[in-house]
Amino acid sequence: VTATIIDGKVIARDMREHLKSRVQALGEHGVTPPHLRIIVSSDDADQTLYAGRLRKTGEALGIEVEVENISETLTDERLAGEIQEVNRDPRVDGVIVTMPLPRELSADTVYSLLDPAKDVDGVTVANAGRLYLGQAAHPPSTASAIMDLIHSVAANVRGMNAVVVGRSAIVGKPTWLLLMREGATVTECHTGTTDLGHHTRQADILVSAAGRPKLITADMIKPGAIVIDAGINETDGGITGDVDFPGVSDTASAITPVPGGVGPVTNVVLLREVVLNAESRARAV
Ligand code: NAD
């Protein structure tokens, strides 16, 4: 390994320290703690685990995290009612609805009804539109985390060639927009791309969010590239990313490991948006 390992755990720890002091400062000014509401509509173990982890991380920072499970009544009316209630509740700074929703519910209910200001994970149509238009928005947390990881080794991406593999609404597409907004020249690759390596070999910054183990191999990397691996794949050998780490880490200049790269930063970025909202609430009074 010759590349710098971009250690997501260390970056996340530093971000948590910083957030904790911001939350403390709010308290010292008599502001009620930042409040995150997580709406869970499934008994799926992954979603329960996700909500529990987020609560634990948030509470350690002084953020109130309330998890609400609505899986006993799976109707869009109930979901819409919950969303309207949190939209109105002045205590609530941020809302997350864990996905995927059970088939009885429509994600459109969340995308169209949730107050974009409280949509800290940037899933609503309004936030996606604002991001597209270059307006202030809450971007999806994974895309934001990817940008933080890039910035840890390259403060300024202007003029760089970036390649994003994956075009999902929560990772690939918003990452393309955020990189472009900062002046990178971005190529967006996906399952329709012929000769992926032809594109990735031009990349000063390569972001992979495809969910395909060993998709990105050493021969596809421009020497000295920054490689951000957002993939999470369960394989017989454990959790791996999309990047063939042993080979690529000898060609890249910096690389995120999986696990321990994008994942740990994503949740903290989400909580940062909650704190940001609480700070705006404090300024408004
Ligand atoms: P998705 O399945 O919605 O999208 C995958 C994208 O990759 C698609 O747009 C597809 O076109 C592209 N793709 C798939 N195979 C490809 C190939 N062979 N060549 C080129 N493009 C290909 O997935 P998603 O929700 O965007 O997540 C992507 C990965 O990131 C998954 O492994 C997921 O687990 C992970 N993820 C990580 C975090 C985190 O916090 N670290 C958060 C969300 C998702």
How far, in Å, is the centroid of ligand 1 from the Cα of 10? 24
The finding on whether 51 has its CB within 6 A of some atom of ligand 1 is no
So what's the pLDDT on residue 66? 98
120 Cβ partners below 8 Å, 6+ apart?
36, 93, 94, 95, 96, 138, 141, 270, 273, 274, 277
Cα distances (angstroms) measured from residue 268 to each of 91, 99, 198: 20, 18, 35
What digits encode the pLDDT tens for the residues 19-63?
999 999 999 999 999 999 999 999 899 999 999 999 999 999 999
23 residue type, one letter: V
The finding on whether 212 has its CB within 6 A of some atom of ligand 1 is yes
How far, in Å, is the centroid of ligand 1 from the Cα of 31? 39
Pairing of strands 185-189, 161-165: parallel
Pairing of strands 205-208, 226-229: parallel
250 has pLDDT over 90: yes
114 has pLDDT over 90: yes
Pairing of strands 64-69, 205-208: unpaired
What digits encode the pLDDT tens for the residues 188-241?
999 999 999 999 999 999 999 999 999 999 999 999 999 999 999 999 999 999
65 has pLDDT over 90: yes
So what's the pLDDT on residue 1? 78
Average pLDDT over residues 102-121: 97
For the chain, the straight-line distance linking the first and the last C-alpha, in angstroms and rounded, comes to 52
How far, in Å, is the centroid of ligand 1 from the Cα of 242? 9
What digits encode the pLDDT tens for the residues 131-153?
999 999 999 999 999 999 999 99
How far, in Å, is the centroid of ligand 1 from the Cα of 150? 18
DSSP 208: E
- For tokens 């390259």, what's the residue? 154
What digits encode the pLDDT tens for the residues 258-280?
999 999 999 999 999 999 999 99
State the average pLDDT for the chain. 97
Q: What is the pTM of this model?
A: 0.97
Q: Kindly report the three-state secondary structure assignment for every residue of 123-142.
A: CCHHHHHHHHHCCCCCCCHH
Residue 79: HSE in the Cβ half-sphere, 13 Å Cα cutoff: 26
The finding on whether 202 has its CB within 6 A of some atom of ligand 1 is no
So what's the pLDDT on residue 269? 98
